[in-house]
Amino acid sequence: MDRIRKLIDDMREYGTLNEVPIMSVESINTINKIIDDNNIHSILEIGTAIAYSTICFAANNNINRITSIERDKVRFNIAKNNVLESKLNNIELICDDALNTVINDKYDLIIIDAAKSQNMKFFNKYKNNLNSTGIIIIDNLDFHGYVGRSSEIKSRNLRQMVRKIEKFIDFLDNQDEFEVEYIEVGDRLGVCKRKNL
């Protein structure tokens, strides 16, 4: 386990130095607690990057299986090497655009942490892969503090992206299938559980 701790520390350092937007330690700890408290054994993750979060969750003893999707080939190859080095055997990596990937299995937890403007598409596509009692977690719902103040943003691209996150939050707050809790760790997590369970 010490080897995995060391690998995780090295990956966090690599991510910081190379501007890979990995989750904060507090977000990782919060999600690992959700895993422990909710009988979660399988995860589908959208957005692997270098497999930092993937390995952090795969190292949780409750996780039998994590599938993670990354479209960027360079990052995917780094992720593959990190997974090899971890010697964990419960990780499956897929190199693909997650908007097109066909996944047939169902999972206890789905983590959405990819292109922030596509949150709604990922959510509506992958909720079909969620077990009946499963949970969907979305990362970066605060987007570095920009969410809620999109009208002040000068850059057109950034403004449009933040607007999409604002619309997505509006959608989450006004749909009937899931109840949503926002957790103020890292860049804000949204935690969605099915209503009427």
Name the site residues for Mg ion (rule: CB under 5 A). Answer: 113, 139-140
* 10: contact with ligand SAH by CB under 6 A: no
Tell which residue, 104, 85, 83, 103, has the closest CA to residue 93. Answer: 83
Kindly indicate which of the ranges 35-43, 71-79, 158-166, 168-176 contains the residues binding ligand SAH, using the contact rule CB under 6 A.
Answer: 71-79
Minimum CB–partner distance for residue 140 and Mg ion (Å): 5
Using the structure block, give the residue that is written with the tokens 């060391």. Answer: 6
Among 59, 75, 86, 147, binds ligand SAH (CB under 6 A): 75
Three-class SS state of 98:
coil
**Burial (Cβ within 10 Å: 0-12, 13-18, ≥19) of residue 188:** buried
What distance in Å separates the CA atoms of residue 55 and residue 51, rounded to the nearest whole number?
A: 6
Q: Please check whether residue 91 is in contact with residue 66, taking contact to mean a CB–CB distance below 8 angstroms.
A: yes
Pick from Mg ion, ligand SAH, none: which does 70 bind, CB < 5 to 8 A by kind? ligand SAH
What distance in Å separates the CA atoms of residue 82 and residue 123, rounded to the nearest whole number?
A: 27
* 14: contact with ligand SAH by CB under 6 A: no
Among 40, 71, 91, 161, binds ligand SAH (CB under 6 A): 71
* 78: contact with ligand SAH by CB under 6 A: no
Interface residues with ligand SAH (CB under 6 A) are 21-23, 47, 49, 52-53, 69-72, 75, 97-99, 113-115, 118
